[in-house]
Amino acid sequence: MSDFVDRVTVHVKGGDGGNGAASIRREKYKPLAGPDGGDGGDGGSVIFVADPNATSLMDFRFLPHRAAPSGTQGLGGDKDGSKGADLILPVPLGTVVFTAKGGPGEQKRPGKPLADLRRKGDRFVAAEGGNGGLGNRSLANRARRAPGFALLGEPGEERDLVLELKSIADVALVGFPSAGKSSLIAAMSAAKPKIADYPFTTLVPNLGVVLAGEKRFTMADVPGLIPGASQGKGLGLEFLRHIERTEVIAHVVDCATLEPNRDPIADYEALEKELAIYADELKLPLGAIPIAERPRIIVLNKVDVPEAKELAEFVRPEFEKMGLKTFIVSTASHEGLKELSFALMGIVDEMREKVRAQEEAEDEARVVIRPLEDAGRPRRRGGRSGLGIDFEIEREQDRDGNFWYVVTGSKPERWVVQTNFDNEEAVGYLADRLARLGVEDALRKLGAHPGDEVHIGRGDRAVAFDWDPTVAAGAEMLDGTPQAVRGQDLRLQDDGYARRRTNTERRREYHEWMDAKSAVRAAMQAEREAGHWSDPTVLDDPNDETSLIDRLGEDRGDPGKDGKGTAAKRQ
């Protein structure tokens, strides 16, 4: 089994954010000292980093599912949760990240390109971690002094991606199958590719480092190409992409082939035609040199065979007339390999300087557009069609005539995920936020009526409810009393326990309490001496309709009663 993998599908998931905590601080002489619930920690992110030490995507084939750690939950005592660590995944230089196309159970195909990790240290955040939920300490303000709820952490981003490796080498060896490309890279470097006497022996690109004096360059052995490769014939487009990042293209021509209708000039023209077709459909990154403008050289191989050497000497002037540098070599006897290595090194040096200058020019000419930092810019609400900066509203209908409204947008969908629907105060807080955002106004403009079904978000995380705009979102009461509005606690008001009492106030309150206690004891003693507690026929409070004396008289059926109780008898 080959240890080189150049395309894999990976499933990445960012860590979930930790939930916020709802807690009240308690101190001596101050049992309700305000909210102290900490925030939840953010989840870690999955990040791809271009690493020159990584040579293949093999690790992702055996471990395609990668998830970053989640953040921890906040705690009381102003303790915030810890953040999940980012998951750093090294990938080879030249890795391109695509979205994955294909339904469930189908093989994933590359979709929209997301990142091109060409240089050492290039980073791409594949899946962002979720934000941690706010604790009630962070939710408290002057109007909401005692929040009885906290926000939930957001789930991390989760998606499928396709990683595709496009080999980065200085020189690419292209040619027909069995032209001797693997033998050439094995003779010029320390690479050990598979070599056999049948076509398409090379199934994966082989990379080798070639020394030319004190300098070095990399060489890629691209699998054999045939006419029609740009349309997928043979190994087709699977390996044509490996020449996208090379700076020099070396045509390896088999001068000893016995196949009919084959000659060096025809082989070169056939492969150049396939490269031209492939280059027309290729989208190169900024600073890259088009394939048609990259230098070519001709390597006439297998001249250790007498007939092949004669053919090479015969066609060499024809290639030179085309302006192509031509070298006659033999991988068996190593003839001409030293001259070839130094010639390639000189071309590579020139191309490196040209590429570096072109990339710098592209970077300088690149226009960076940043949004205006204007905090006072008015925010457009809903609008005539329900479209706004922060949300969109669409009216959907099925075949049976049932309709509903769908609210989408980063803010409403994020707020729904953060809400704990088991807490009435948290649900009311969500209603407040949606009303301030303008969702209710936009629904009303679109013709929504009380009782219509409204969905916030789409998919598994969507929340459906019946719209009821008649109830003001900020007027729900927690216990039915007008003094207890959401997020307030009477015990935390300015005249309650929100302020620590001074010693003088404590002393005064203590004496007032002792005086009241003495007055109650004196009143109780006076009643005891008057016999009120020993004579059950005496009613201390004549206006007490729940007196036990009246009920006892009615139960006995006393004929002296006129049905008006003891009070009528005393009159």
The DSSP code sequence of 185-217 is: HHHHSS------SSTT---S-EEEEEEETTEEE
3 state SS of 313: helix
Distance CA 1, CA 506 (A): 84
- Is 20 annotated to bind a ligand? Reply is no
List, as one string, the DSSP characters of 486-546.
TT--GGGSTTTTTSPPPHHHHHHHHHHHHHHHHHHHHHHHHHHHTTTTT-TT--S-TT-TT
How many C-beta atoms surround the C-beta of residue 194 within 10 A? 12
Distance between CA atoms of residues 155 and 423, nearest Å:
19
In degrees and rounded to multiples of 5, residue 178 shows phi and psi of 65, 25
Residues 6+ apart with CB under 8 A from 341: 188, 210, 211, 212
Residue 100 marked as a ligand binder: no
Is 140 annotated in a binding site? The answer is: no
**Does residue 147 have a known ligand-binding role?**
no
Residue 93 makes CB contacts below 8 A (sequence gap 6+) with 50, 51, 52, 117, 118, 119, 120, 168
268's enclosing H/E stretch is helix 264-280
Residues 300/328, Cβ–Cβ less than 8 Å:
yes
Pairing state between β 7-13 and 158-165: antiparallel
The answer to whether 330 is annotated as binding is yes
Q: Is 193 annotated as a binding residue?
A: no
Does the annotation list 222 as a binding residue?
yes
Annotated binding residue 302: yes
d(CA 47, CA 523): 79
Q: What angle do CA 120, 355, 357 make, to 5 degrees?
A: 105
**Residue 149 marked in a binding site:** no
354 annotated ligand binder: no
Q: Tokens at residue 465, please?
A: 């409810």
Residue 108 in marked binding region: no
The response to whether 224 counts as a known ligand-binding position is yes
Distance CA 218, CA 93 (A): 13
* Main-chain phi, psi angles of 132, to 5 degrees: -75, 150
331 is in an annotated binding site: yes
Helix, strand counts (H, E) of the chain: 13, 18
**Calpha distance 63→90 (Å, rounded):** 13
Q: Is 317 a known ligand-binding residue?
A: no
For 537, the token pair is 């026929």
Among residues 362, 353, 352, which one has the least CA distance to residue 169? Answer: 352
Residue 200 assigned to a binding site = yes
Q: Scanning the structure block, which residue is given the tokens 């969905």?
A: 455
Q: Which long-range contacts (CB under 8 A, 24 or more apart) does 540-548 make?
A: 542/567, 542/570
- Is 189 flagged in the annotation as binding? no
180 is in an annotated binding site: yes
The answer to whether the annotation marks 223 as part of a ligand binding site is yes
Diameter of the chain measured on Cα atoms: 148
Determine the 3-state secondary structure of 126 from DSSP.
Answer: strand
| Residue 400, marked binder | no
Name residue 173's beta-bridge partners: 221, 250
On whether 304 is known to bind a ligand per the annotation, the reply is: yes
CB 198 within 8 A of CB 41: no
**Residue 181 assigned to a binding site:** yes
Supply angle C-alpha 197, 230, 222, rounded to 5. 40
199 is known to lie in a ligand binding site: no
Q: Which amino acid is at 62?
A: F
| Residues making up the binding site for GTP | 175-182, 200-204, 221-224, 301-304, 330-332
| Residues making up the binding site for Mg(2+) | 182, 202
| Residues making up the binding site | 175-182, 200-204, 221-224, 301-304, 330-332
